[in-house]
Amino acid sequence: MSASEQKVALITGANGGLGRALVNELVTNGWQVVAGVRTIVTDADLPNVRGVPLNVTEPGQIDKAISTTIERFGRIDALINNAGITADELCWQLSDEDWTRVLDVNLRGAFLCAKAVARQMIRQRDGHIINISSFGARSGPRGQSNYAAAKAGLVGLTQSLAKELGSRNVRVNAIFPGVMPTSMTAKLSAEQLEEFAQANALGRINSVEEVAHFIAFLAGTQNISGQVFQLDSRIAPWT
C-alpha cells in the first residue's frame, strides 16, 4: 500500500499506556499516525509515525496539529480523543482547580479537537471520531466526581456529534476501555486491582493491546456511529 493510500489517524495523549498501544496497533494495520503528545521526545521510534506537540486545552496547538497533519497527508481519517487525567478526591475536599482541570482535559479538550477536525472530515465527507470515555461515566465512582462527570459528558457529546455529522458520513463513537495496566492505574494497590478484576465476570482486567486492537478495527468501519462500546466484562443493570 502506498503512502497516498494509507489512512491517517490523529491520536491525542499518545504517550500514555493506551496511546502508545494505539500508535503501535494502527501502524501495524497500515495507518499513518500523527501522535499528539505534551512533550516531544521521539517520533515513537516507529515508521509512519509523526509526533506533534498537542495540549488539548490549547486551541492554537490543536489547530496547528491538524494543519500539520493535513499539510503532510492531505486528510484525517480518524481522530482518537485519548488524552485524559485524574485528580481524585471526595467532593467536599475537591478543589475548584482540580474540578476544572479534569473537565478541561477530559471533556473540553475532546470537544475542541472534535470541533476542529470535523471541518476537515466534512470537506472529505468521511471520517471517524472515537472518544475514550469510561465505565465511571455510568457507575459514578466514589472520589471521582470530576472524572465521572467529564466521562459522562463525553457520552453525550458523542451522541450529539453523531447526529450532527452523520449526514456528512462522519462517524462518532465512544469507548469504555475498562481498567488496564497504565500510568493512570499504577498508583492502585494490588488489593484494589484485584477488586476491579473480581468486578468482571471473567475475573480479570483488560489489556491495552486488546483495547487498541478493538479501536483500530472500529476506526476502519463505515456503518457504526453514536454507539458506546464497553470492552471489559463488568455487567451493569439495564437501568
Catalytic residue among 147, 148, 154, 174: 147
Sheet with 32-37: strands ordered across: 49-53, 32-37, 8-11, 78-81, 127-132, 170-176, 228-230
Q: Which three cell numbers stand for residue 113?
A: 479537537
Strands (E), 62-169: 78-81, 127-132
> Is 223 a catalytic site residue?
no
Cβ-based burial of 41 (10 A; exposed 0-12, middle 13-18, buried ≥19): exposed
Q: Are 6 and 28 in contact (CB under 8 A)?
A: no
Q: Which residues are catalytic?
A: 147
